[in-house]
Structure 1
Amino acid sequence: MARPRVTAKSKIFRIEIVLVDVEPTVRRVIEVPGEASLAALHEVLQESMGWTNSHLHEFEVDHARYGPLDPDADEDLLDGARTKLFRVLAAGDDAGYVYDFGDNWHHLLVVEAVSVPEPGVRYPRCVDGQGACPPENVGGTFGYPKFLDALADPDHADHADRVEWWGSDRFDPHHFDLDATNQALARLAWTPLSGSSSTSRS
């Protein structure tokens, strides 16, 4: 399937994403074309945060809910695949994004700016971030700090169980690798606006 194309008419949304009620802070700043659907934005969020896209998700924008449609789901859910980013958000707006209705990870999205695309730059891309994504199925904001405490303390009653579950006694909650994040996003790259830029990424 042909890649979507960034054009001179495209608008680039710079969006800050913060994982709510998680310490240390898990934060990303991404840039994505406004013509992207919310379903496509979901994929960008998964790759930029470090999730594995193994669970359901939902956006909330101005009290409306968007996600993948399911005949058995509630009728109030709107189709994220048919909803373009630029039609529901603008600079200064915010939105909610929930991933995994079991662990219930809440993300706050804030549109920091809307700008014109840079020639040669591959979007979507991540331009800033901090903190490691929690492991999948760790128990949400309640289980994550318990996981960190148990893993870091060999004398903790749950240390051995946590090490066995995780497969290691190593996990750095402060770790963030911008280059690795953009490598993960490369599979979602749109064809860039023609031209060159000193800030372009391969």
Structure 2
Amino acid sequence: MLKYRIKISLDGAKPPIWRRVIVPADILLPDLHRVIQGAMGWEDEHLHHFEKNRVFYEPAEDMDETDAPLFFGEASSEDYSEVTLRSLIYLVKDKLSYCYDFGDNWDHTILIEEIIDNDQDDDPTPICIKGKGACPPENCGGLWGYYAMLEALEDTKHPDHKGLRDWMGLKRGEVYDPAYFDIDEVNRFLRGEYDEVEQREFAITEKILKLDNSQLSEISEIMVLESEAKAREYYMDIIEKRIQENELSERRAEFVEGANYLLELLFNNIKTFAAVAGAAAAKAEKNSAPKGIVVDFPKKK
């Protein structure tokens, strides 16, 4: 089987965040997307696309939701369901771009480091052989927000320190390690070693609690323009409708508890982002203010 040793790098990350993975050369892009998500540590909560030579490859169902060609001039979009990695890159040092979450814009580069042709190897299972750096948390505002978050987490006197710890679910004495990487955990994911019961429970919980991008935007807008109470009411109405539709009334308390927890994370995230953005704007305004201006006051007569 023909395979590629590829390096998946998070663009702009300093220190670098990357994974080295061996995959079949003919892996389909939807499967490569799942490999990238699992290897990097993303949670597959947002839209994504691959890009090569100004052509954007993405799920057919998402093509109407993205405006990539509008922003990139003479570009086009294609359904990626039957597109293989080898059809796009096939030489050592060839590169393919991958973007995840069009709000935070996590841009990745996929680089072919080695082409492996072994007739004795017919196992298509991807394997991660090396990596470096922890995957940033979802919805933290891209690299800029991630670095601002790290700064706040390191400074116990930072006004957002406690809120960020709560948002990340850090317990007393627990610290976030930006260098964390567990290759065994990654390979368990790539091998598909999941407990079926856990997977089924996760699917049910996600079905009840997960929000799409438009609903998240709506909740955020209600919170900012009206109140947290109104935003909570909006979300709980969605949850209650889903509980009824799926005949899960006996688990209402469990889902409400989960919804409240997610709302607190969301509210803290919005507040933190607003605070950090406000501080950055104030700093920028201060730095851009004209200096050394002499004001000529009228002399007393």
TM exceeding 0.5: yes
Where in structure 2 are the equivalents of 1:13-32 lying within 5 Å?
A: 13-32=4-23
State yes or no: 1:163 paired with 2:165: yes
Mapped contact 1:11–1:115 kept (Cα < 8 A):
yes
1:140 Cα offset (Å) = 0.4
State yes or no: 1:84 paired with 2:89: no
1:69 Cα offset (Å) = 1.3
Q: Could you say if the C-alpha distance between residues 25 and 83 of structure 1 is closer, same or farther in structure 2, counting changes exceeding 3 Å?
A: same
Where in structure 2 are the equivalents of 1:1-202 lying within 5 Å?
A: 10-70=1-61, 72-73=64-65, 76-91=76-91, 92-117=93-118, 119=121, 123-168=125-170, 170-187=175-192
Mapped contact 2:23–2:124 kept (Cα < 8 A):
no
1:44-77: per-residue Cα shift (whole Å, max 9, x none)?
Answer: 0000000001100010112211011136245821
Mapped contact 2:40–2:135 kept (Cα < 8 A):
yes
Q: How far apart, CA to CA, are the structure 1 residues paired with 2:169 and 2:10? A: 24
1:133 Cα offset (Å) = 0.2
Extract unaligned runs of 5+ from structure 1.
Answer: 1-9, 189-202
1:141 Cα offset (Å) = 1.0
Tell me which amino acid in the other structure corresponds to 2:84: K
Q: How far apart, CA to CA, are the structure 1 residues paired with 2:105 and 2:148? A: 16
> What secondary structure is seen at the aligned counterpart in 2 of 1:35?
coil
1:154-200: per-residue Cα shift (whole Å, max 9, x none)?
Answer: 11111011111111152111111111110111119xxxxxxxxxxxx
Instruction: Normalising by structure 2, report the TM-score.
Output: 0.56
Q: Which has the higher contact order (CA 8 A, sep 6+)?
A: 1
Mapped contact 2:24–2:124 kept (Cα < 8 A):
no
Tell me which amino acid in the other structure corresponds to 1:141: L
Aligned to 2:213: none
Q: How far apart, CA to CA, are the structure 1 residues paired with 2:122 and 2:53? A: 34
Q: Could you say if the C-alpha distance between residues 120 and 11 of structure 1 is closer, same or farther in structure 2, counting changes exceeding 3 Å?
A: closer
1:24 Cα offset (Å) = 2.3
For structure 1, which segment, 136-145 or 169-178, has the greater mean C-alpha deviation from structure 2 after superposition?
169-178
Mapped contact 2:8–2:20 kept (Cα < 8 A):
yes
* Percentage of pairs with the same residue: 38
Tell me which amino acid in the other structure corresponds to 2:82: R
Tell me which amino acid in the other structure corresponds to 1:56: L
Instruction: Normalising by structure 1, report the TM-score.
Output: 0.83
> What secondary structure is seen at the aligned counterpart in 2 of 1:88?
coil
Q: Could you say if the C-alpha distance between residues 47 and 180 of structure 1 is closer, same or farther in structure 2, counting changes exceeding 3 Å?
A: same
Tell me which amino acid in the other structure corresponds to 1:83: V
> What secondary structure is seen at the aligned counterpart in 1 of 2:140?
coil
> What secondary structure is seen at the aligned counterpart in 1 of 2:103?
coil
Tell me which amino acid in the other structure corresponds to 1:90: Y
Q: How far apart, CA to CA, are the structure 2 residues paired with 1:171 and 1:122? A: 34
1:121 Cα offset (Å) = 5.5
Tell me which amino acid in the other structure corresponds to 1:88: L
Mapped contact 2:19–2:39 kept (Cα < 8 A):
yes
1:107 Cα offset (Å) = 0.4
1:114 Cα offset (Å) = 1.2
1:119 Cα offset (Å) = 3.3
Mapped contact 1:40–1:81 kept (Cα < 8 A):
no
